[in-house]
Structure 1
Amino acid sequence: MDKYWTQLNHVVNTAMAFKSRALMSLLTGESADGFAREMYEKVMRYNSMATGHFTGDECLSGDSPVQGSECCSVAEAMYSYEILLAVSGNPFWGDLLEKEAFNCLPATTTPDMWAHQYVQMTNQICCSRIAPDQVPFNSNGGEAHMFGLEPNFGCCTANFNQAWPKFALSAVALSADGLAVMSPVPVSVRIEKEGTAVSLQVISGYPFRDEAVIEITAERPVEMELLVRIPGFAQGALVDGEKAEPGSFYRIYRKWEGSTRVKVSFSFVPVLTDRPNDMKALVRGPLVFSLPITETCRKLEYVKDGVERKAPYCDYELTPASDWNYGFCTETFEVRGNEIGEFPFAVDNPPLQIKTEMVKIPWQENGGVCAPLPQERRALSQPEEKLLQPYGCTNLRMTEMPLVSR
């Protein structure tokens, strides 16, 4: 990949551009998301990541799992998808928004958000300084994937903080005649409908749990609609026991009085999805799963530009303390639910895991970066039981791996 930089395919500009015609459509009357759908398909045709995001370190960088994607691009893509979902009403953008929010965003920050990466890698076996002649990134330096206060450049330090608040604000929206639950995450809102105070609360552990309860409380009887977005990646869904179509909004129109609970449940199945070069990624619902790599963490405390970088606002070097050169060897998966703790995207205590068997395979690394593809697709060991966890619950990980014979 040539190392270059241009505004035309800078990854953050690309992420921002998705919403441009949706906003213009409010004035022109054009299709709210026709431009964005076409643009997304073109970008993903050559620069896709297993998470549904796109590479860019700095500019669009191909589909290798060791190409990075900038933290700012995640925050801006989320904002674009929020606008597209609100303006077009197309549930497709809600699917992409959740993939960003539950995979890319938590992966690029530590659970306490004191540190972040400038670029994240799909297959990330080490986060330490890379020698200049071994850097895989398009136009970033060898520290861009390290966790810290402002690795590589300070823009993401200021920008990533907008992503969660804007996502929370977009989780419920006003519809034409009521309220729309855009994402069944824990959230609450209060509105006035025809002079009546109405509150809505979503009680859920989504995306780590497959159901939610929507509680609506009206001070006086009021008629209105409730729209519930049903994710397109669900194999099935029920709303109050009635079947709901994945990739749509389920509508309830009724008179609401007192407190009413609406139960929503989804069916998610772990599947190996295809990636370029005959690689695979494990996906269940909105979550991508990775093989976590045990890490050794070293704090890097120093003074730069007159500012003392001291923990927790220092830099961190993460090196692997477990083997990472594995491939899938079965399509049998067992889902395990764990307690959801104070930090839902915890690395050490993930709320969800998937047990499967994997085998070691020949796979080279150079300077802390694994080769984009393994040397061979043959087993070096007997199958080993492994626990995969959500991509967003990892620092070091392997995500795109081949399916090999035992």
Structure 2
Amino acid sequence: MKNSVGFICLVLLSFLLIYWRVDNNAKISSVARPSTLTTNAFYISNKAPLQSSNFTKLPIGAITPGGWVKKYLELQRDGLTGHLGEISAWLDKKNNAWFSGNGTGDHGWEEVPYWLKGYGDLGYVLHDDAIIKETRLWLDKAFESQQPNGYFGPAIVESQHQDNKGATPDLWPNMIMLWCMQSYYEYTQDARVIPFITKYFKWQSTVPDEKLLKIYWENSRGGDNLYSIYWLYNRTGESWLLDLAEKIHRNTANWMQKDNLPNWHNVNIAQCFREPATYYLQSKNPDHLAATYNDFHIIRNLYGQVPGGMFGADENARKGYDDPRQAVETCGMVEQMASDEILAGITGDVFWADNCEDVAFNTYPAAVMPDFKALRYLTAPNMVLSDSKNHAPGIQNDGPFLMMNPFSSRCCQHNHAQGWPYYAEYMWMATPDNGLVDMLYGTNEVTATVGSGEKVTLKQETNYPFDEHIKIQVNVAKGASFPLYLRIPAWCNNATLSINGKVVKSENKPGAYTRIERTWNDKDVVELVLPMEVSVKKWERNKNSASVNYGPLIFSLKIKEDYKQMDSKASAIGDSKWQASADPSKWPSFEIYPASNWNYGLVLNNSNPATQFKVVKKSWPANNFPFTLESVPLEIKAKGKIIEDWKIDQYGLCGVLPQSPVKVNSKEDDITLVPMGAARLRITAFPVVE
């Protein structure tokens, strides 16, 4: 009897302990998207009749990144992005049509706004006065260049692909400059911006359809123009802007084809596939939204059966070239990230933030040198040589497109700048119910207005994606009631949540958001754990190859990298140009050669992947930069066998994948896998050996 009473008391005590650990102040639910029946009261979102926003981008400067993201931004500032104005001939102010103030000059196309788009945002995110001042010099000249009819920028514009014979200036570079102006306005509230853009769009409205968006680049990329029209409409509400938006849409390339794309240029695809979803905000036609998803899947079904969130197109996708050795431009990577970030806001779908992380963590980091002083035009999931030779037709580009070079090329050299600044800007977004969503995890601090008008600062600490723990501290002067959304990635099962050290019962569905509605007090702490497990993904449609994942990270074979320094000018891509004062000794190029075996197949068995791989956790790097072979805080130990017949082929590329399973007689070796983003040489899609 005494034992029974003791047992009952123990059970009651257990229930009490559980009750005490539950936060009864919180209303917690799992939602696929926020409700859009209300509109955020504090941040500019879509104005009627546009489709209501799922999430709204916070003004630039609201988020201050920390941790490795801040380190990456500082490397950009101190490296190629921050000093490109001293290197690139296209950024030389002398006789530059973007800097003349009247549109005249012997050069001036996409390069200046490409660079300024990321360079300016880098300054705003880091609150760097020197960068902001330099950005202002260029923007002042753009303001000055506006003609009485509203057009601005270069009066005669270069076009690499089509001469429009002076009928209408090429509007593509101006599309990028508008984005520069939008960021500048969000940071400074400069009163010149709204009338400047309004006047320009008034001019666009006068251009007849037969002369509008007829050049290759502007025709493909009209969605960027469309995005700026909605940005302005949401601030002025002038109805004629919606008429212009419809005009731009009907003259933009057709990105709504069921089984085809308007062209197969990798950057166009990564950037332009979002155009139908952008126009959906106005049309509210679900077919437009569905078309963007369809475009995403068309390119990946054909050329994206590879790890890393991208697809293998080199510069242009070609039938029969879908092996993991096919690459993507650095331009394509950062444009895909930007598309994912924008689409996360338009659709509210976790899918887009997940894909952004896939590209940002796995594909993009290895496209640049660790010091961010050189970049590679093309990078592939399977890439075992990075030299200055011509690898065509194995890759689509004819020239030295695989080496790290600060002077190459006109596009990626300038456009790379937007990648990490934009990522930092989208780490948090505002919600329709006056809350915040933690969209892209990382150490940062965000200050925003929430609830009934309270100002709150959230400080987030994490080494994600290299660690599964995320801690958020709330700082508020008085109690504030507002919803906090936490993205649960689709890969994550069994996420756990606690508030102020107390376990909270919550569903935390993968591929959804955990919504916490409560009254928050100063120093409240939310902790989210996203358990990471080793998993193997089979790519049946690409030779039945396999890749190894751990949470959001993909792992590549650790190949010892042998760097050979080269003369940057002598080994630059043909269309590269640099200023006469640019010193190649300060901006070296590098070839990278494998100094260890790379032709391993992966030994797999049918048991749980966790039993055949060993995750090794190492200390966090002292320099806060985890994307080198030496500094990665995670490794995976695996088993592999050499495939003797898998060699560098006649084009100087990693040979195409053999069909798995591959029968070999070689011995089984211990191999080490490292995060894909840290591997500038890598095998990521493995043959499976027997």
- 2:276 maps to 21
**Paired amino acid for 1:351:** P
CA distance in structure 2 between the aligned counterparts of 1:90 and 1:121, rounded to whole angstroms:
27
For 1:364, the equivalent position in structure 2 comes to 647
Query: What residue in structure 1 maps to residue 402 of structure 2?
Result: 145
Cα distance in structure 1, aligned partners of 2:672 and 2:510: 28
Task: Choose the corresponding residue for 1:117, options 359, 376, 381.
Answer: 376
One-letter code aligned to 2:620: I
1:65-76 matched pairs, under 5 angstroms: 65-76=324-335
Q: Is the 8 A contact 1:114 1:312 kept in 2?
A: no
Supply the RMSD in Å over aligned alpha carbons: 2.1
In 2: Cα distance, 1:54 partner to 1:127 partner? 19
Question: Does residue 1:155 correspond to 2:411, yes or no?
Answer: yes
Task: Determine whether 1:166 maps to 2:422.
Answer: yes
Matched, 1:52 2:306: no
Counterpart contact for 1:215–1:262, Cα < 8 Å:
yes
Write the letter of the residue equivalent to 2:406: L
Bigger-Rg structure (1/2): 2
1:228 matches 2:479: no
- Contact 2:568–2:587 at 8 Å: present in 1 too? no
Equivalents in 2 of 1:129, 1:302: separation in Å? 10
What residue in structure 2 maps to residue 105 of structure 1? 364
Q: 1:375 to 1:20 in 2, by over 3 A?
A: closer
CA distance in 2, matches of 1:399, 1:187: 30
User: C-alpha distance in 2, partners of 1:340/1:22?
Assistant: 40
Report SS of the residue matched to 1:290: strand
> 1: CA distance between counterparts of 2:613 and 2:340?
31
2:592 is matched with which residue? Answer: 318
Tell me which protein shows more strand as a share of its residues.
1
Q: 1:111 to 1:329 in 2, by over 3 A?
A: same
- Whether 1:395 and 2:650 are equivalent positions in the alignment is no
The alpha carbon displacement at 1:307 in A equals 5.7
TM-superposed deviation, 1:82: 0.4
Quote the sequence identity (%).
Answer: 28
For residue 477 of structure 2, give the secondary structure of its aligned residue in structure 1.
strand
Q: Deviations over 1:52-106 (max 9, x none)?
A: 2112221124421111111100000000000100111010111101001101110
CA distance in 2: counterparts of 1:116 and 1:131, whole angstroms: 17
Q: Retained in 1: the 8 A contact 2:538–2:545?
A: yes
Structure 2: how far apart are the matches of 1:43 and 1:309?
Answer: 40
* Farther-moved stretch of structure 1 (66-75 vs 307-316): 307-316
Cα distance in 2 between the residues matched to 1:379 and 1:339? 37
8 A Cα contact 1:345 1:351, kept in partner? no
Preserved contact between residue 226 and residue 253 of structure 1 (Cα < 8 Å) = yes
The CA deviation string for residues 225-270 of structure 1, in whole angstroms up to 9 with x for no partner, is 0000000011321122434111001000000111111110112221
Q: Secondary structure at the match of 1:385?
A: strand
Report the 3-state secondary structure (helix = DSSP H, G, I; strand = E; otherwise coil) of the residue aligned with 2:478: strand
Q: Please state whether the residue corresponding to 1:54 is helix, strand or coil.
A: coil
CA deviation map 1:193-245 (0-9, x unaligned): 33322011211000000110111211111110000000001132112243411
Query: What secondary structure, in the 3-state scheme, does the structure 1 residue paired with 2:357 have?
Result: helix
Q: CA deviation at 1:107?
A: 1.6
Residues 213 and 136 (structure 1), Cα distance of their counterparts in 2 relative to 1, 3 Å cut? same
**Corresponding letter in the other structure for 1:340:** W
Indicate which of 276, 279, 282 corresponds to 2:548. Answer: 282
Report which of the two has the higher share of helix. 2
* Among 540, 545, 560, the residue aligned to 1:294: 560
| Mapped partners of 1:215, 1:34: distance in 2 | 38
**In structure 2, what is the Cα distance between the partners aligned to 1:142 and 1:321?**
24
1:340 partnered with 2:620: yes
Q: Amino acid of the residue matched to residue 34 of structure 1? A: A
The one-letter code sitting in structure 2 at the alignment partner of 1:182 is: M
1:9–1:309 CA distance, 2 compared to 1 (3 A): farther
Is the contact made by 2:447 and 2:457 (CA closer than 8 Å) also made in structure 1? yes
Residues in 1 aligned to 2:445 and 2:582: alpha-carbon distance in whole angstroms: 40
The 5 A counterparts of 1:150-299 are 150-151=407-408, 153-177=409-433, 178-193=435-450, 194-240=452-498, 241=503, 242=505, 243-275=507-539, 276-299=542-565
Greater mean alpha carbon deviation, residues 358-367 or residues 393-402 = 358-367
Instruction: Give the partner amino acid of 1:100.
Output: V
Residues 260 and 36 of structure 1: CA distance in aligned 2, closer, same or farther (over 3 Å)? same
TM-score (norm: length of structure 1): 0.93
User: Once the 2 structures are TM-superposed, how far is the Cα of residue 326 of structure 1 from its aligned partner?
Assistant: 0.4
Distance 1:311 1:260, change over 3 A: farther
Q: SS at the partner of 1:274? A: strand
Q: What 5-or-longer segments of structure 2 have no aligned partner?
A: 1-160, 163-215, 221-262, 571-576
Conservation of the 8 A alpha-carbon contact between 1:328 and 1:358: yes
Stretch of structure 1 that moved more, 55-64 or 318-327: 55-64
In structure 1, stretches of 5+ residues that fail to align are none
Distance 1:251 1:125, change over 3 A: same
Equivalence for 2:354: 95
Structure 1 position 352, deviation (Å): 1.1
Does the 8 Å contact 1:118/1:150 carry over to 2? no
Which moved further from structure 2: 72-81 or 61-70?
61-70
Letter in 2 for 1:296: D
Deviations 1:282-327 (A, max 9, x none): 1122111000211211111254654655245221111111111101
Structure 1 counterpart of 2:679, which letter? T
Contact 1:299 1:311 in 2 (8 A): no
Q: TM-score normalised to the size of structure 2?
A: 0.56
1:356-403 CA distance string (max 9 Å, x none): 111111212125312112389233432211110011001111111112
* Alpha carbons 2:544, 2:659 under 8 Å: kept: no
- 2:76 counterpart residue number: none
Q: Does the CA-based 8 Å contact 2:493-2:509 persist in structure 1?
A: no
